[in-house]
Structure 1
Amino acid sequence: MHDTTLTAQRLDAMHRDGFVLLSGVLAPARIAELREAIDRLTPIGLDYQGMLDDHYKCVFNRSPFWLQFLDLPEVIELAEAALGPDCHVIGQTAWRNRPGFIGGDLHADYLVMTLPERLLADPAFELPMQVCTAHLYLDDIDADLCPTLVIPGSHRAGRKPEAGETHWHGRVAEPVLCKAGDVLFFRSDLWHAGSRNRSADRSRYLLQVHYGRRMVAQKFSPYLNFSFNPEVLAAASPRQRRLLGEHEPAEYD
């Protein structure tokens, strides 16, 4: 049974900190299945396979197996609370980051518009979310294994970080250390970064699910050449079909 109080608390954290960590969402057997499934993936379209990292886009379209991760319990309730009951998926990407992987600089994924920070500093003003991401971790994440770095509250900056910027209001990026099966859920305007894989022999496995409001476009690669896998659509539940884009008619349909 869904705990509405817990979802409300997590939604408060999204508005306050810009992110929340959900513990133990995936069981060990499911984690093992996911890792094996990522190992079997081969590049299609704009997917990338390199010396230090691999990433595979729109994996929901590969087979019905991936559908179950679009609407995981606890995650989907938070996504719908943050983005509306008619939100949808705008991406699902599988990653494998090998030893030596470099990561990325501090950034914000998506910002609807820049806003004056004094407006966002007003506790009475609550900035709506437009896009959120769920990181499904398939490894125990320690300081050496590519922890995601976040600056709590930085979504209230009203802008993206500038090149070389490393802190906001005196706060530097903090690593999210967690267990395999945990999910980091964060809003797209949060300042965050990927970090290096400093381990000697471990690869980080990660599945991302990106959610957007109804009017945020679904941009599935390879874009104009994208088509849904009939096997996936046939297996999808009504909620999963909505997440894939089967909406009730709206103003611009």
Structure 2
Amino acid sequence: MDMATALSDLGVTGDLLTDPERDQLDRDGFLPLEDVLTPEEVYAVNQRMAELTAAEGERAGLEVHQEQGTDRLADLINKDPMFEVCFSHPRVLAAIRYVLGPSFRLSSLNSRAALPGQGHQSLHADFDHPVDPGEYEVCNSIWLLDDFTPDNGATRVVPGSHRRGTMPADEMPDPAATHPDQIQLTGKAGTVVIFNSHLWHGGTQNHTTRPRRAMHSYFALRHLPQQLNQQEYLRADTYQRLTPAQRYLLDVTDPS
């Protein structure tokens, strides 16, 4: 198996992104893809995540990261086949390939729900140093499981900041403060927003009375360590149900 074969097997073709969509990824660093999940799929995912959050209790999210003021889950690949779409959807993979090139793998698949009155983050990039434009190493996707609104903690981004060659702390006395060029990524549930992870971004405070829920499938070049070591956590039954192309995207072999 190689990347070209894996992507072809998953239905990724060269015509899945339009020229304006590629231009937006280059210029702004993010791209919304609407209606990737149906309302029924969104409902099912939210129900399953509520079950997992209740079952895991204080350990929820511990495999990768726990964050005060949020409900987090991690290692979703092993926890239900319904989550496979997050690293297998052709349009999503086409956008990831456009940003990262032909040699990437899934780094982690997690969820984050900003709780009422909580969720604000400093602006940050998902990499520890700036990179030159076009030399991108990481790319994320936000799967909107609630409508993202200006009031419920929708992610803020600084368009074009992936091309600045700096980090937020290099330019801002306080990266937690509002940036004059920031916008919020608003949209309806079922949308997936692809964003170059060198783009400055952060969650905002949820001013509503309900959690604001999302999943994140995070990809990186294949030579980089995964945020969650997929091989270390892989369950035998998970491996058996995955296709060869999906296994390649996770970079795993039979754990038995």
Could you tell me the TM-score, scaled by structure 1's length?
A: 0.82
Q: What is the count of residue pairs matched by the alignment?
A: 232
Correspondence for 2:21 among 7, 10, 16: 10
User: Quick check: 39-48 or 76-85, which moved more?
Assistant: 39-48
Contact 1:135 1:208 in 2 (8 A): yes
Contact 1:141 1:177 in 2 (8 A): yes
Correspondence for 1:131 among 115, 130, 138: 138
- Aligned twin of 1:233: 239
Change in CA separation of 1:113 and 1:142 when aligned onto 2, cut-off 3 Å: closer
Contact 2:29 2:195 in 1 (8 A): yes
In the alignment, residue 23 of structure 1 is paired with which amino acid? E
1:244 aligns with 2:250: yes
1:51 Cα deviation after fit? 7.3
1:3 Cα deviation after fit? 6.7
- Mapped partners of 1:202, 1:80: distance in 2: 35
- Aligned twin of 2:6: none
- Mapped partners of 2:146, 2:16: distance in 1: 29
Partner-residue secondary structure (3-state), 2:135: coil
Could you tell me the TM-score, scaled by structure 2's length?
A: 0.81
- Mapped partners of 2:46, 2:203: distance in 1: 20
The one-character-per-residue Cα deviations of 1:38-73 (angstroms, maximum 9, x if unpaired) are: 101123544667873211122112233322221123
- Aligned twin of 2:8: none
In the alignment, residue 251 of structure 2 is paired with which amino acid? G
- Aligned twin of 2:166: 159
What are the ranges of 5 or more consecutive residues in structure 2 without an aligned counterpart?
1-10
Correspondence for 2:210 among 173, 187, 202: 202
- Aligned twin of 2:156: 149
Over aligned residues, Cα RMSD in angstroms?
A: 2.6
Correspondence for 2:43 among 32, 53, 74: 32
- Aligned twin of 1:174: 183
1:111 Cα deviation after fit? 4.9
Overall identity of the aligned pairs, in %: 27
1:8 Cα deviation after fit? 4.5
- Mapped partners of 1:68, 1:183: distance in 2: 11
Partner-residue secondary structure (3-state), 2:90: coil
- Aligned twin of 2:86: 69
Change in CA separation of 1:159 and 1:69 when aligned onto 2, cut-off 3 Å: same
Partner-residue secondary structure (3-state), 1:4: coil
- Aligned twin of 1:214: 222
